[in-house]
Amino acid sequence: MKRIVDLIAEELEPAFAARGYDPGYVRVTLSNRPDLCEYQCNGAMAAARAYRKKPIEIAGEVVEEAKDSPLFSRIEAVMPGFINVSLNPEFLARYLQEMAAEEKLGLKEAEKKETIIVDYGGANVAKPLHVGHLRSAVIGESIKRIGRYMGHHVIGDVHLGDWGLQMGLIIEELRDRQPDLPYFDESYEGEYPAEAPFTISQLEEIYPAASAKAKTDEAFRERAHQATLRLQNGYAPFRAIWKHIMAVSLQDLKRNYANLNVSFDLWKGESDADPYIPGLIQRLVDQGLAYESEGALVVDIAKEGDAKEYPPCIVRKSDGAALYATSDLATIVEREQDFHPDRYIYVVDKRQELHFIQVFRVAKKSGIVAEETPMIFLGFGTMNGKDGGPFKTRDGGVMRLEHLIRDINEAVYEKIREKQKVPEEEMEQTARIIGLAALKYGDLSNQATKDYVFDVDRFISFEGNTGPHIQYMIVRIKSILEKYRDLRGGEETAPIRPAATGTEKKLQLSLCRFGEVVETAFYETAPHRICQYMAEVSDAFNDFYQENKILAEEDEGRQAALISLITLTRRVLDTCMDLLGMESPEHM
Ligand code: ARG
């Protein structure tokens, strides 16, 4: 469906043309003075300069032309030259009715369907997921969902850190603990066991122990480093251990992501890019882009007009080892080969910005990625504790994601137990659904690049700008709909009616913007737009609900029309929730 702003523009363009003004000046926006009008057009201001007239004169002429349009209940020219309009309730009701008839609620899908890689999650294998990984997972998941809803072919890739020093550390720690394992017997020629020599809880203990040991024990650190190199060079026994680590750790990771309602199409990692590294290096050398500098191989990325000085991108260290940038570039080579994406979106901590500037520039300079392909780095800020510093456990350690979720769910559980609105058998599931929305909305409602304060008490509140508040509004609608069914039997339907009250109109005006908001959220890579919108719709619904009687309405036709309106409200809110990777419970 066409967006309301475009329909208004199409109505004003002929009015401009009729008075001899270029219709190209017409630009319609939501009013920034909702007390005065609903939409506004500032075209007369821009045209005034070109035609050397007073803006108010042009605005007046346009209004004169358009005043009988069936789209507007009011159109007026106001000083210094704004054209203010309010929508005709008949027109608005018809628009919403059409929206309700469409599966995607009137959203205009992208004309060009793109293949998009969203690189998010980024967990490091064998290290516990911590809150730093939370943001990437939560934001990336919503971007993937929004892109899909727009009709794009979106591929979510978790891009695991599965190839680094942590592997060497675990291997050498394992050698110290269980030297008799066949992996450490150089003369062993049999098959390696299918079963891993450790469980997930042992693995979770092995890595931190090894990491701590490496800090004080230099020989151990060197052994781990060598083991990592041997693993990367394909040494069979270490590959076998690595496979065990991967299998045990992945199972755990998948469970954790599933708890967050986050899922990936590709479970690839840095290790998958490894085979592409030699070809990549060769290419960069052949193109004359990579050159030796102090034994390392580097590519210059500075451009004229850069505000900052960007250091060259190192693609090979002097000892021959690949680096983080090498691995990301090789991954891009692989992605180009497999998918030839039209757009890349990376959802990673903003402290990695320089790394991605380097990687993107090398990818473009070398032609691995076409110049016009957008490569978007969505760098997110830090999740802080109430004290302003990075979020920690009570005793100052790094908070594990699992524990964070458990704490939130427990707090929500307490709350719904006190309120006594949720049937006993639904309590646990409901606490999980609410807890997840509290967590995700708390994160997503902030512009991603900003740091934010993690405040459980605020996030789980049923009031204010929170996920649970929006769920609460949805639950209220569900309950009205249920009571209506009991009251009237079957599913009597009536078209949405022209708004009769101010709050009804306000609700309708917010609903009609759904498609526009989703589009903006996608093109700006900004899920917080959807949060803002959900809050606006819920508030509008709440005001409407306070002012209009729905279940007590005696006129059945009028009642059915109101039911249609709140049914659409519910669909809009539920769809937004889904785009952000949340759900709403049945009771709360
Ligand atoms: N594993 C990395 C980390 O924890 C994040 C990976 C981000 N994605 C990427 N393509 N580099 O810091």
State the Cα–Cα distance between residues 468 and 470, nearest whole angstrom: 5
State the Cα–Cα distance between residues 24 and 541, nearest whole angstrom: 36
C-beta 446 within 6 A of ligand 1: no
Looking at the structure, tell me whether residues 135 and 282 fall in a common domain.
yes
- Give the pLDDT mean for 33-54: 92
Residue whose Cα lies nearest atom 6 of ligand 1: it is 122
Residue 110 covered by a domain: no
Higher pLDDT, 489 or 583: 583
For residues 347 and 119, the answer to whether their CB atoms sit within 8 Å is yes
CA–centroid distance for 531 within its chain: 11
Ligand 1 centroid from CA 449, angstroms: 17
pLDDT at residue 492 is higher than 70: no
Residue type, 319: D
- Give the pLDDT mean for 309-332: 94
End-to-end alpha carbon distance in the chain: 35
Site to probe by mutation for ligand 1, drawn from 130, 270, 348 as the one with most ligand atoms within 8 Å of Cβ, is 348
What pLDDT score was predicted for residue 162? Answer: 94
- Give the pLDDT mean for 286-300: 97
Ligand 1 centroid from CA 161, angstroms: 6
Give 444's pLDDT tier (boundaries 50, 70, 90): very high
Looking at the structure, tell me whether residues 445 and 572 fall in a common domain.
yes
pLDDT at residue 240 is higher than 90: yes
State the Cα–Cα distance between residues 78 and 36, nearest whole angstrom: 10
Sign for the pseudo-dihedral over CA of 567, 573, 579, 584: negative
- CA nearest 436: which of 581, 235, 226? 581
Residue 278 covered by a domain: yes
Looking at the structure, tell me whether residues 411 and 493 fall in a common domain.
yes
Choose one of 337, 358, 384: the last residue of a domain: 384
State the Cα–Cα distance between residues 229 and 435, nearest whole angstrom: 43
Looking at the structure, tell me whether residues 287 and 203 fall in a common domain.
no
Residue 104 covered by a domain: no
Ligand 1 centroid from CA 446, angstroms: 22
C-beta 161 within 6 A of ligand 1: yes
Secondary element (H or E) of residue 169 = helix 165-177
Looking at the structure, tell me whether residues 156 and 169 fall in a common domain.
no
Residue whose Cα lies nearest atom 8 of ligand 1: it is 122
Looking at the structure, tell me whether residues 174 and 130 fall in a common domain.
no
C-beta 132 within 6 A of ligand 1: no
For residues 465 and 536, the answer to whether their CB atoms sit within 8 Å is no
Looking at the structure, tell me whether residues 502 and 416 fall in a common domain.
yes
Mean pLDDT over all residues of the chain?
95
Looking at the structure, tell me whether residues 193 and 156 fall in a common domain.
no
Looking at the structure, tell me whether residues 252 and 315 fall in a common domain.
no
Ligand 1 centroid from CA 134, angstroms: 13
Looking at the structure, tell me whether residues 172 and 156 fall in a common domain.
no
pLDDT at residue 491 is higher than 70: no
Residue 106 covered by a domain: no
Choose one of 323, 350, 384: the last residue of a domain: 384
What pLDDT score was predicted for residue 222? Answer: 96
What pLDDT score was predicted for residue 397? Answer: 74
Residue 222 covered by a domain: yes
Ligand 1 centroid from CA 331, angstroms: 12
What pLDDT score was predicted for residue 533? Answer: 98
Choose one of 384, 411, 444: the last residue of a domain: 384
pLDDT at residue 36 is higher than 80: yes
The number of beta carbons lying within 10 Å of the beta carbon of residue 424 is 8
Residue 98 covered by a domain: no
C-beta 348 within 6 A of ligand 1: yes
- CA nearest 576: which of 508, 502, 512, 518? 518
Q: Where are the alpha helices (DSSP H) in 40-130?
A: 43-51, 55-66, 89-101
Atom of ligand 1 nearest to the CA of 133: 4
pLDDT exceeding 90 applies to what percent of the chain? Answer: 90
Atom of ligand 1 nearest to the CA of 331: 10
pLDDT at residue 490 is higher than 70: no
Ligand 1 centroid from CA 227, angstroms: 22
| 456-470 per-position pLDDT tens digit | 999 999 999 999 999
pLDDT at residue 395 is higher than 80: no
Give the number of domains in the chain: 4
Residue 342: which CATH number? 3.40.50.620
Site to probe by mutation for ligand 1, drawn from 267, 352, 362 as the one with most ligand atoms within 8 Å of Cβ, is 352
C-beta 159 within 6 A of ligand 1: yes
| 512-544 per-position pLDDT tens digit | 999 999 999 999 999 999 999 999 999 999 999
Residue 529: which CATH number? 1.10.730.10
Ligand 1 centroid from CA 11, angstroms: 49
State the Cα–Cα distance between residues 188 and 192, nearest whole angstrom: 9
- Give the pLDDT mean for 48-74: 94
Ligand 1 centroid from CA 234, angstroms: 23
Please give the radius of gyration of the chain, using alpha carbons only, rounded to the nearest integer: 29
Residue 315 covered by a domain: yes
Give 390's pLDDT tier (boundaries 50, 70, 90): confident
Looking at the structure, tell me whether residues 373 and 460 fall in a common domain.
no
Looking at the structure, tell me whether residues 526 and 453 fall in a common domain.
yes
Residue whose Cα lies nearest atom 12 of ligand 1: it is 122
- What phi-psi label fits residue 194: left (phi over 0), alpha (psi between -120 and 50 degrees) or beta? alpha
Residue 264 covered by a domain: no
Tell me which residue range forms the domain holding 173: 165-259
C-beta 119 within 6 A of ligand 1: yes
Residue whose Cα lies nearest atom 5 of ligand 1: it is 122
| 322-337 per-position pLDDT tens digit | 899 999 999 999 999 9
What pLDDT score was predicted for residue 393? Answer: 75
Residue whose Cα lies nearest atom 7 of ligand 1: it is 122
